[in-house]
A and B are shown apart, each in its own frame.
Chain A
Amino acid sequence: MNNFQRHPFKKYQLFVLFFYICSHFCIGNLGLIVDAAAAAKMNTLMVTEHNKQFNEIASIIENELKSKYNVEKYFLDENAEYKSFEEKVKESKPAVLILINNPAVNLALKYNEKNPAINGVALMGLNLRGLLKGQKNICGISFDIPIYTLVTQFAMLMEKNIKKVLVYSRDSIFSPVTAINESRLKTSGVTLITKNVEKYGKNKTDVEKFLQEEKKKFNTIKNEFDVITILLDSAFLSPDFFKDFWIPLSNEAQVPLIAGVESLVSPQLNFAVFGITPNIADLGLQAVQMITAVINGEKAEDISVEEPLGGNKILNSKKAETLSLKFNQDKLEDVNKL
């Protein structure tokens, strides 16, 4: 007779003991298992600023990514220092940096110069394409609404066909932008004519000389062009140029002006008639797909810089009335009339 036969209950006791040990092991390690699962998720580091619009974008991106990745946020203040940013990146070791607005992009570019480069996805306004030129590790989405989108969306609202569009441009900076939009609009049967304000040179006086000549043609522009689109060029939209050139153009040319920024379409200014501003939800969805692609191994340099899709349409009703524009009423349903 062995020991178990002498004491039959011991088998049961051993089983209880085994079960007790196993369950304690599992419960004790449950926290570790959960932690391990979280640790197994790749890190992403979102670098942004406290700003209502940026917070909304950040929140959409975080909600979409959090089931698959850890999303850590790093907020930049006015005194954002490179050193603390660098420390944060080294501590976080992110699979991708999510860079919202110019300061974040600039810090990431500096980091990649000094360290083994980290992949990044940038979202910012002016000249992202220029800033990321030659960059192998950072791709992004520009906030600027493309001329193509502005013109085609405006054309859909109008009863009259839009055939010829004018844009004033500083070609030394914006010629790639106007060239690409010219070819895109061509596919929709629209001709984009670019007038280079630097025709006589890049100095302010040279530009002013060109604009003086152009002002003499204001009363004939109407016969030649259906729409004038405005490039968001802070230098060419400076208060001086705005007062001396843009306002007289808006008042005298009698051609609708369109722009990718709400402030220029406000009825108080009574300047542009139509505009589109980026839609945060659409931008968020676009960004999430780009971030996921980069994490999954697509090369940032192959993705490059994308234009924002969609947007919120705005119409300055007062200006539209002044210009006696006629619209397809059923197309105005999703336009915000100011």
Chain B
Amino acid sequence: MGLKAEPMTRVLIVVPKDKVPAATSALYDLQLLHVHDHVEGRDGLALGHPLKGASVASEMLIRLRAMIATLEIPEVTVDMRRPITSLMEELEAKFDHLEHEIETLGDNRNRLRAETRNIEQQMKNLEPYISLGLDLDVYRDYETLEVIVGNLTGDPWKVLRNAKIPFELFKAKDASKTGLFALFIEQDRTDEVRAIIGEFNFTPVPSFEGKGDPRTMRVRLKEKLAKVNSSLEEVELDLKTIRKVHGESLFAAEEHLSIQIEKAESPLRCGSTPNALFVEGWVPTKRMADLEGTLTDAVGDSYHIEVLTDEELTGHSTAAVAADGGEPTSEEEEEAEHFDTSKETPVLSTNPEGFKAYEYLIKLVSTPRYDEIDPALFMYFTFPLFFALMVGDIGYGITFIILGFWMLNSKWKGVGIVTGITRRRLTKMIMMSGLFTIFTGLMYGEFFGLELFGTHGLVWPHYLYVPALDVYLPINRLEQAMLMINLCIYIGIAHMIHGLCLGIVNTNHHHGLKHAILGKFSWILIIIGGYFVFRILFTADEVVMTEPVMMSGLILMITGIIMLIAGEGGGGLLELPGIVSNILSYTRLFAIGLSSLGIAMTFNTLGGIMVSKGGAMIIVGLIVAFLGHFINILLALLAPSLHALRLHYVEWMTKFYTGGGREYEPFGRERIYTEV
């Protein structure tokens, strides 16, 4: 369960030409076969040709999509799926008429929209002329005069006077437009004047075609705009009515036609000869019978199905190269030998629903390969554990669970990539982590940053002594820092050895037992041996090399290093310091928790001081403490989960995970709006 991907069988289906439409249609509706796309010329097979009817359907689909675009239909949700026969009959009967109607209305709407924009632009252009107050005819049609209308800052008029340029100036009447002006000058001095006003940030105002008082003009434009807007509303109302009546059926027809086209174009993904079509792909092994049954129902006996084994596939590729052009070269042969089923075979994970959230998190790195261990199963336990060791607070744990229940029942749809089913899964993951957090909270004796029990416990000022482990419970994280660091290192060593064990399984499968032992088992020896050696070096008062623990540690470590060099060469030694930092990295389980605890305690102290002052400060103090914990809970969702993930991604998964698999995407798609 969960560890391995669903077993897949690679099959080759051969269908005679006349049965292709029935066969592809059946396969599409079955949604079971992951089609391996054919490459032109492979095995001497050409690409298939699209079925008849594809081009007709395409044309209809294009027209349909244009209609949907014109109607501006948003994504609709329907409660009832429509049967396709009646749907298409209905649509064909009304198609041309409906299309004509929608097209006309759409054109009208676009024209009216353009007109509205145009009038609005004109009204905007008219604004400065209203402020200037002159009749619109005044600005045009002179033989010797030039009119400049625009905005500027400062006072160029003195300069014009000094240059002895004759001019007449009109300024805007309202105070808000001080820079607006209309300037009348002689035509032959235009360049001179433009050069002068150019230095005063001159920007021209677009000219306005029209006659008479600009205010009358504005009234006229307003009337025109109102008229256009009312006809636009009418057209949009018509379109809305059509949308209401036909929208859903158009949407459903779009889906059906898209499916028709996908079916019709499916031979393009397969190999073909003049008389037959060769479909190659993968099927979940346990559903082979379904596939064969469906094909028999669709085309009777006239198909041939063949299961391809790995050996056949390798030979198969070589044959392809040879068929292509004479003898295969040694390079091509090598390539054929390395035909990697683990990379090519699509992966359908067998994880139960509860593990899917972790599957999602693993896919953020890479999809597992077909024959690789899927780490989701282990993460289901270790992720909440790490998270809980960091947060470790009874109160926060309860809050996470309540938050989870609220998220599951609320109408909030989530943001970004965390929507739909992913949101539900991640929510359940948070709730699970909350449950673990309550347990670690009991272990630390913490409740919203307060010490509930333990040495200075508020409720139960006692502790338990566990002689076997020489540990006092609950662990006070502030006072027993050394114990926590040790605990983290033990967890780190255990987690990494687990990762290396998975690495042995994976490497054994891919490269054989020798590689697995030299490359992965050697690291386990190094970690265990190294632990004893370093432990003595750091804690013992006197280091005696001949002491049995020290000796066995050294022997394990050196054996491991020799095996590593034998397996991976001298380069492997470069990774030795890395393993130390990997293990120390697990101390974040303590460090992140300390910072979370620090924030909680700070706000408790702050709130406590305020409450002790009495009066209205009691309320302020409670609010401060509440806000502090609120922020801390948000931070706790972010930092510990990221660091727990990081421990999995960087320290753990690098020991065994390759990834780069291909996801199982069966040919066909689910009908949402229609039914057969």
| A and B from one complex | no
